[in-house]
Amino acid sequence: MKDQGLGSWTLRRARMTPDKAALVQDGHRVSYRQLHLSSTRLARGLRGRGVAAGDRVAFLGLNSIELVTAMFATASLGAVFVPLNTRLAPPELRYVLTNSEPTIILAEDSLATGAVTAMISELSIPTVVFTRTAGAGLASLESDDERPLDEPIAQDDLFMIQYTSGTSGRPKGVQLTHGNIIWNVMNLMVDVDLGSEEVALVTAPLFHTAALNQVLFPTVLKGGTALIESRFDPDRAIELIESEGVTLLFGVTSMYLALSDAGRFGSADLSTLRNALSGGAPIPESLLRIWLDRGLMIVQGYGLTEASPGSTMLRAADGIRKLGSAGTACFFTDVRVIDGVGEIVMNEPGEVQVSGPNVTPGYWRDPSSTDTAFDGDWLHTGDLATTDDEGYLRIVGRLKDMYISGGENVYPVEIESALHEHPDVAEAAVIGIPDTKWGEVGRAFVVTSPGSSLDEAALIAHLEGRLARYKLPKSVVFLSELPHNASGKLLKSSLREVKP
């Protein structure tokens, strides 16, 4: 085959296990043969709409068979898939679409409403609105031609742009090639023993790198079955684990907490589960032990979108011995911790840097950020960590004050910028504080203009619609002034000592 990319995977699997269930949603099963034919027909239909190699195809929708089909169809054309975060506010979505300039947008009807519809119309981007229907929602776009395309696609060709919040206040488009994803899958396969009878539960959003690259793609490669859920529901998840014999699970801390808090968790039959994966933020020891009592060690890893995302893994065998660690580097990836003068350090904090074939070639249309992000072949992650004498990584902080809430990266500068849009806000700063459910949530510290009667409820209401809901601060502390050093630099470390 000339196609060495991810778009060829449906044909490669269909010729091996054509009748095996590839995807299941709401009881509807799609075999590998059907997935290949649907993605082929959709690819030819997209080509008929003017989509060519290198063009971007944007997708706005919840987890669905339609999303997976559209992704493989786009890949087989040599086009670039742009999965849109369904939690973005219209102004944020506008920026992503303006920056990526898609040739077409595929938008689920439940999300393409109100301000989103008006905004997309203003941009004059051809848009197909569909209803999620167990894979049939995009049938109107499909061609009758089922001949495989087999375009000459190399692993270095661009496969996807995933937008992640930027420290400048603007989202950055992380470019991921076909090879980036393939090598990431190889890393995972070395660490996690997945089989052809795998049944993976996909409840985390597929517009994020973890669910897509750590669960869906490895499952397809092995010829397993992916259960696609539009949203995470803990009771529904437990029901599927029992009824479908789920073997592979992925979630962030808040998801594992919700599962353990579900009424049926204690008595549910979880015997088929062999692997439970997690990322985004360390899982508290108390929660790990709840799952250990059910016979399952949650396997944690460290990664970021720019690394597709897997960089390190704390394997199950070391889960207790190295509790709190993010593990060691994945097989095909190198990780180092560097101090302020560029020297490798151990047992003291430094910045995590990552190198390997799974690491992005850079940011979409942002050469300045790309140059800043790399030191030769090494990617600056912006995360602070220590390594012990055995090479186990332990994350201790962030260089740029990013925090992670429910698996979502949140950058305070975005929130601070939106806070300053309120006429009564003289100065504002945001930090992440610990939260038992979400891992971390935002707390805003605000100095108001003289004579203002601004309160917490009014200020958070001001942010509604400007920011995605997961970025909204959960609390606001009003101060007469914010702490600064002699040079006028804001001292965020001092804010952590302020009691609300």
Q: In this predicted model, what pLDDT tens digit does every residue of 320-363 receive, in sequence order?
A: 899 878 999 999 999 999 998 999 999 988 999 999 999 999 99
Residue 349 shares a structural domain with residue 442: no
Q: Which residues have CB under 8 Å from 398's CB, separation 6+?
A: 382, 383, 384
Domain that holds residue 415: 403-495
Please give the Cα distance from 62 to 285 (Å, whole number).
31
Instruction: Calculate mean pLDDT across residues 72-87.
Output: 96
In a domain, 295, yes or no: yes
In a domain, 45, yes or no: yes
Q: What is the 3-state secondary structure (H, E, C) of 159-198?
A: EEEEEECCCCCCCEEEEEEHHHHHHHHHHHHHHCCCCCCC
For the stretch 103-160, pLDDT in tens is 999 999 999 888 788 888 899 999 999 999 988 999 999 999 999 999 999 999 999 9
Residue 372 shares a structural domain with residue 424: no
Instruction: Calculate mean pLDDT across residues 278-300.
Output: 86
Residue 291 shares a structural domain with residue 334: yes
Residue 363 shares a structural domain with residue 252: yes
Residue 223 shares a structural domain with residue 275: yes
For tokens 């077409």, name the residue.
104
Q: What is the pLDDT of residue 48?
A: 97
| Burial (CB count within 10 angstroms: exposed 0-12, middle 13-18, buried 19+), residue 480 | exposed
Residue 309 shares a structural domain with residue 430: no
Q: What is the pLDDT of residue 165?
A: 67
Residue 36 shares a structural domain with residue 114: yes
Q: With pLDDT > 90 as the criterion, what percentage of the chain qualifies?
A: 77
In a domain, 226, yes or no: yes
What's the pLDDT band for 289 if we cut at 50, 70, 90?
confident
Q: Which of 6, 16, 12, 23 is nearest to 200 (CA)?
A: 23
* Residue 77 in this model has a pLDDT that exceeds 90: yes
Q: What is the pLDDT of residue 343?
A: 95
Q: How far is CA 232 from CA 27, 206, 250, 277, in A?
A: 16, 12, 11, 15
Q: What is the pLDDT of residue 485?
A: 58
Q: What is the pLDDT of residue 169?
A: 61
Residue 115 shares a structural domain with residue 66: yes
In a domain, 477, yes or no: yes
Domain boundary among the residues 385, 419, 452 is at 385
Instruction: Calculate mean pLDDT across residues 286-294.
Output: 89
* Residue 184 in this model has a pLDDT that exceeds 50: yes
Residue 262 shares a structural domain with residue 378: yes
Q: With pLDDT > 70 as the criterion, what percentage of the chain qualifies?
A: 98
* Residue 167 in this model has a pLDDT that exceeds 50: no
Residue 485 shares a structural domain with residue 337: no
Q: What is the pLDDT of residue 489?
A: 59
What's the pLDDT band for 486 if we cut at 50, 70, 90?
very low
* Residue 370 in this model has a pLDDT that exceeds 60: yes
Mean pLDDT, the chain, integer? 93
Which CATH number is 477's domain given? 3.30.300.30
For the stretch 26-61, pLDDT in tens is 999 999 999 999 999 999 999 999 999 999 999 999
In a domain, 300, yes or no: yes
In a domain, 391, yes or no: no
* Residue 319 in this model has a pLDDT that exceeds 60: yes
* Residue 314 in this model has a pLDDT that exceeds 70: yes
Q: What is the pLDDT of residue 324?
A: 78
* Residue 484 in this model has a pLDDT that exceeds 90: no
DSSP letters for 386-417: EE-TT--EEEEEETT--EEETTEEE-HHHHHH
Helix (H) or strand (E) holding 37: helix 32-48
Helix (H) or strand (E) holding 199: strand 199-202
Against a cut of 0.75, is the pTM above it?
Answer: yes
Please give the Cα distance from 175 to 159 (Å, whole number).
8
Residue 452 shares a structural domain with residue 368: no
How would you classify the pairing of strands 350-355 and 334-338? antiparallel
Which CATH number is 280's domain given? 3.40.50.12780
Residue 85 shares a structural domain with residue 153: yes
Task: Report the domain count for the chain.
Answer: 2
In a domain, 67, yes or no: yes
Q: What is the pLDDT of residue 487?
A: 42
For the stretch 373-404, pLDDT in tens is 999 999 999 988 899 999 999 887 677 778 88
* Residue 480 in this model has a pLDDT that exceeds 80: yes
In a domain, 397, yes or no: no
